[in-house]
Amino acid sequence: MDELLKDARRKHYAVGAFECWNSDNVHAIATAAARADAPVIFQASPAEYGTMGGADVLRRMVEGYVAKYHLTAALHLDHGSTLGHVQECLEAGFTSVMLDASALPFEENCELSRKTAELAHARNVSVEAELGHVGGAAEGGIIAESSLTIPGEAVRFVEQSGIDCLAVAIGTIHGDYRGEPNLRLDRLQEIAQSLPGLPLVLHGGSGTPHAQLMRAIRLGIAKVNICTEIHKTYLKAIDEAREHLTPSVPGKFYQPVVEAVSRHVERLIRQFRGENAL
């Protein structure tokens, strides 16, 4: 994944990283990337690939679509919480992993990220870690100043952990925002300037205003994570399908659902590449 992200950071665009929870949305992500003729990142947390039968099942599924549509893609462990998750995904053939220790103190986060990097780099797999902490609706949706990434710590963290890309906390959240988002782009700029060339990652990209998002990409964000936004599109499309299609013919019932998610993902991919597709 770091090969994709280094190119993105250098050329001031971002690669979309889209959450996978079933075969429908994996197919939708794949067709979207093919239509946009752009690289893409498939990613899943342990809970999500668990619902699909395991990390190895997801890898085979993604691999099939990548071959079918001739995609340039990566498969990423999103928010692994243990070294066991990391090892599981490495053995399954993922091309990038993240152990999220961002809620822990700096030294513990750094040490776990370093151990992850050692395991992953031995298999030529790239590593993402998070400094600061991107919370979410489950934590009240409150963005505390103390949870934001401290620019002065970023260089030391990257040097000591050996990671390949850094997820930063600059005012986004996982899930739906409460009120109007206000990204700390000044803080992002300081972090990016202190880590020239290192790809930075934005978690909680769903619902982030276009102008702020594009400014963040120009400043150094090379990967934008999307889950809530496309899942809501998926659920809405199912509700709409119920109005005129019968669930007893699932092959037809889910066709407009896959198409709706695919079009949404394609729009985001083009937006992240600066094509102004809203």
CA-nearest of 226, 3, 43, 225 to 126 is 3
Checking phi first, is residue 274 left (phi over 0); if not, alpha (psi -120 to 50) or beta? left
Q: Give residue-wise pLDDT tens across range 46-66.
A: 999 999 999 999 999 999 999
C-beta separation of 236 from 257 below 8 A: no
C-alpha gyration radius of the chain = 18
- What would the mean pLDDT of 207-224 be, rounded to a whole number? 93
Domains of the chain in sequence order: 2-272 (3.20.20.70)
Asked if residue 178 has pLDDT above 70, the reply is: no
pLDDT tier at 278, thresholds 50, 70, 90 = very low
Q: Is 24 a catalytic residue?
A: no
Asked if residue 36 has pLDDT above 70, the reply is: yes
C-beta separation of 171 from 208 below 8 A: no
Of residues 2, 24, 78, 164, which has the active-site annotation? Answer: 78
What's residue 252's pLDDT?
95
The amino acid at residue 126 is: S
Q: Is the pTM of this model over 0.85?
A: yes
- What would the mean pLDDT of 131-145 be, rounded to a whole number? 63
